[in-house]
Structure 1
Amino acid sequence: ARVAFSLFPTTMDDLFAVADMNEIMPPKSTWFEPKLKDGLLVHLI
């Protein structure tokens, strides 16, 4: 038997809401694309 799931992506608002409540999301639920290069730092300007 084969099973497939099509789920809605996690929005940034959802991610921030969970973080603000000091909660933990399930593994792989915060998978974002495109991935940043290793060692690359991101700063808001």
Structure 2
Amino acid sequence: MLRSHYKNNRFNKSDTPLDILNKRYAAGEITKEIYEQLKKDIGA
């Protein structure tokens, strides 16, 4: 099920980790706290 969720072309091969993180936050998939922590983790 998780695999099919991410096969919907929402993410492109050219998306950076920050692009994906921003899309997940904008879609409401993650909280602001998680967003900020992941942003630090990827060095953005």
**TM-score, with length taken from structure 1:** 0.27
Greater RCO, CA 8 A, separation 6+: 2
- In terms of fraction of residues, the more helix-rich structure is 2
The structure with the larger Rg is 1
